[in-house]
């Protein structure tokens, strides 16, 4: 069975098969399989020239909206490796496990929580109908060692969730900044999980990147802030996609809750993969600071400066994935438009202009006319100081537009013979393909207003 069977497809805007995204991502330099010349490593990817631009934009936009715009939120960047006790205190050594079953017949392996209910009840393999073995537990933490001398090396872990650094640095942030509860700490960073069933391209990887907000509150205000961040984060995701109806909030059932969460909601996106988690909103309560206080022996309680009340702050967590955002944005933006009146169709990425990897392409109408080329290069050299720009003079203008559409470039600037007379250029917009004429002097302001967040 392929990944895309049995998934409902809406008539108006069919879900994009994941294979099309994988192919475009590799062909146009967004994502490459890691160590490909050695056969690759399942669940690990590298990002190419366009991929890194898109990732940087996604990260920066999150940081801007979460840290820069909120006076009561600050950022940190913690190390990937921490003291091993951190992972005992966090509960990951004990609880961060997947329960798996293997088929006795075809040897396929499944996560119990991913098995269809009927197969679970009948103890039957979804692939061949064979009998399933007894479930086994696998810990997802990736081990590593600090030190070089045998016997003195300390076993520790690559962080299984990036947010632990925030709890470890919480007291330092309090003492070194002027934050008072309620306040938040944000971080973007890599996390590592020995996923037993990585798959669906960037969706479930072994090395991936998370963005977290840990918001510290008085227990009496927990519900208020939980609801507040749930709504804020939902609206944030809505703001960066085209298909708004493919986003929903779903409450976790009691059997789904992570060991640290008393309540949780997932912000989910619907694609060819079905409804899947994009970001988790977790009611972590006092789990983390209490456990780290207990395991480290350090008092991590907070004293209210006015009431002098002493308490362990409760935590609202919003935890999402840079890679899932990257994948969902491509799934959301990809469209194959048929050509009209016998004309060639196009593949277009309707990416939000502020996130698009390349903001503008400058194209001389012909490459063998020196004046056109010089003027176009001059415009390009000025624009590239302000935004990511490309210069392209290879192939006819229609083909060059198509090339830019396929990578989501929101604007193309064409330099033609009129430009040499009146210093105006054609600006073509990606989604509508509409064109306007603009003086060269107005180009920077026109484009900046449309491609930067403010
Ligand atoms: N600190 C809470 C936490 O780690 P999580 O739901 O396990 O919660 C948060 O992860 C987010 O990280 C998910 O919503 C998803 O976007 C991303 N994520 C988790 N596991 C992932 C994986 N194996 N590959 C890619 N992204 C992943």
pLDDT tens, 83-120? Answer: 999 999 999 999 898 889 999 999 998 888 889 989 99
**pLDDT band with cut points at 50, 70 and 90 for residue 32:** very high
Which residues share a beta bridge with 302? Answer: 311
Q: Could you give the percent of the chain with pLDDT greater than 70? A: 97
pLDDT of residue 235: 98
Measured by CA distance, the residue closest to atom 15 of ligand 1 is 321
Residue 163 in contact with ligand 1 by CB distance below 6 A: yes
pLDDT of residue 12: 63
Residue length, the chain? Answer: 454
pLDDT tens for 166-222 read: 999 999 999 999 899 999 999 999 999 999 888 899 999 999 999 999 999 999 999
Residue 233 in contact with ligand 1 by CB distance below 6 A: no
Among the listed residues 208, 206, 209, the one whose alpha carbon sits nearest the alpha carbon of residue 41 = 206
- Residues 430-440, mean pLDDT to the nearest whole number: 97
pLDDT of residue 223: 96
DSSP code per residue over 311-325: EPPEEEEEEEEHHHH
pLDDT tens for 11-23 read: 467 899 999 999 9
- The alpha carbon torsion through 205, 211, 217, 220 (nearest 10 deg) reads -50
Mutate to test the pocket of ligand 1, among 209, 210, 322 (most ligand atoms within 8 A of CB): 210
pLDDT tens for 157-171 read: 999 999 999 999 999
Does residue 339 carry a pLDDT above 80? yes
Does residue 6 carry a pLDDT above 70? no
CA distances (Å), 400 to each of 27, 236, 328, 365, 406, in order? 16, 33, 26, 10, 10
pLDDT tens for 390-431 read: 999 999 999 999 999 999 999 999 999 999 999 999 999 999
Q: What residues contact 293, with CB distance under 8 A and at least 6 apart? A: 299, 300, 301, 312
Distance of CA 277 from the midpoint of ligand 1 (Å): 8
Q: Please give the Cα distance from 22 to 202 (Å, whole number).
A: 9
- Residues 116-140, mean pLDDT to the nearest whole number: 92
Instruction: Please tell me whether the overall predicted TM-score, pTM, comes out greater than 0.85 for this model.
Output: yes
- The alpha carbon torsion through 205, 210, 216, 221 (nearest 10 deg) reads -70
On whether the CB atoms of residues 278 and 236 are closer than 8 A, the answer is: no
Instruction: Please work out, in degrees rounded to the nearest 5, the angle formed at the alpha carbon of residue 28 by the alpha carbons of 50 and 49.
Output: 25
Which residues share a beta bridge with 276? Answer: 269
Residue 161 in contact with ligand 1 by CB distance below 6 A: yes
Does residue 8 carry a pLDDT above 50? no
Residue 159 in contact with ligand 1 by CB distance below 6 A: no
Measured by CA distance, the residue closest to atom 6 of ligand 1 is 280
Q: Please give the Cα distance from 210 to 277 (Å, whole number).
A: 13
Atom of ligand 1 nearest to the CA of 212: 1
Residue 210 in contact with ligand 1 by CB distance below 6 A: yes
191, two tokens: 């996390």
Distance of CA 237 from the midpoint of ligand 1 (Å): 16
On whether the CB atoms of residues 157 and 151 are closer than 8 A, the answer is: no
Distance of CA 193 from the midpoint of ligand 1 (Å): 10
**pLDDT band with cut points at 50, 70 and 90 for residue 341:** confident
Q: Could you give the percent of the chain with pLDDT greater than 90? A: 85
Q: Between 256 and 404, whose confidence is greater?
A: 404
- Residue 35, helix vs strand vs coil: coil
């Amino acid at each position: 069975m392929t990944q895309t069977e049995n998934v409902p497809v809406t008539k108006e805007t069919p879900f994009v098969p994941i294979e099309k995204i994988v192919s475009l991502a590799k062909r146009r330099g967004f994502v490459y399989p890691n160590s490909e010349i050695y056969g690759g490593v399942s669940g690990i990817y590298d990002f190419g020239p366009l991929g890194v631009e898109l990732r940087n934009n996604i990260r920066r936009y999150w940081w801007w909206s979460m840290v820069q715009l909120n006076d009561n939120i600050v950022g940190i960047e913690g190390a990937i490796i921490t003291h091993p006790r951190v992972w005992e205190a966090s509960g990951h050594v004990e609880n961060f496990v997947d329960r798996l079953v293997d088929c006795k017949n075809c040897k396929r392996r499944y996560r119990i929580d991913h098995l269809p209910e009927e197969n679970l009840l009948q103890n039957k393999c979804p692939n061949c109908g064979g009998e399933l073995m007894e479930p086994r537990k696998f810990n997802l933490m990736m081990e590593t060692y600090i030190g070089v001398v045998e016997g003195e090396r300390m076993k520790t872990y690559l962080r299984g969730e990036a947010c632990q650094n925030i709890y470890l640095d919480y007291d330092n942030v309090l003492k070194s900044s002027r934050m008072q509860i309620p306040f938040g700490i944000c971080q973007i960073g890599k996390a590592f999980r020995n996923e037993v069933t990585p798959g669906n391209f960037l969706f479930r990887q072994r090395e991936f990147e998370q963005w977290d907000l840990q918001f510290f509150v008085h227990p009496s205000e927990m519900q208020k802030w939980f609801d507040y961040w749930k709504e804020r984060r939902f609206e944030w995701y809505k703001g960066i996609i085209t298909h708004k109806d493919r986003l929903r909030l779903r409450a976790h059932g009691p059997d789904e809750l992570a060991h640290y969460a008393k309540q949780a909601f997932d912000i989910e996106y619907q694609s060819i993969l079905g409804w899947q988690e994009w970001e988790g909103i977790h009611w972590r309560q006092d789990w983390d600071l209490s456990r780290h206080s207990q395991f480290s022996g350090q008092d991590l309680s907070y004293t209210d400066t006015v009431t002098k009340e002493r308490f362990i702050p409760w935590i609202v967590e919003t935890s999402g994935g840079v890679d899932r955002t990257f994948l969902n944005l491509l799934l959301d933006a990809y469209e194959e438009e048929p050509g009209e009146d016998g004309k060639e169709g196009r593949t277009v990425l309707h990416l939000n202009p502020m996130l698009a990897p390349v903001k503008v392409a400058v194209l001389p109408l012909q490459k063998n006319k020196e004046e056109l080329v010089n003027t176009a290069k001059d415009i390009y050299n000025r624009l590239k100081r302000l935004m990511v720009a490309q210069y392209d003079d290879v192939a006819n203008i229609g083909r060059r537009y198509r090339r830019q559409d396929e990578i989501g470039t929101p604007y193309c600037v064409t330099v033609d013979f009129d430009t040499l007379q009146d210093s105006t250029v054609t600006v073509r917009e990606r989604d509508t393909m509409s064109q306007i004429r603009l003086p060269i002097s107005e180009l920077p302001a026109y484009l900046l207003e449309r491609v930067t967040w403010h």
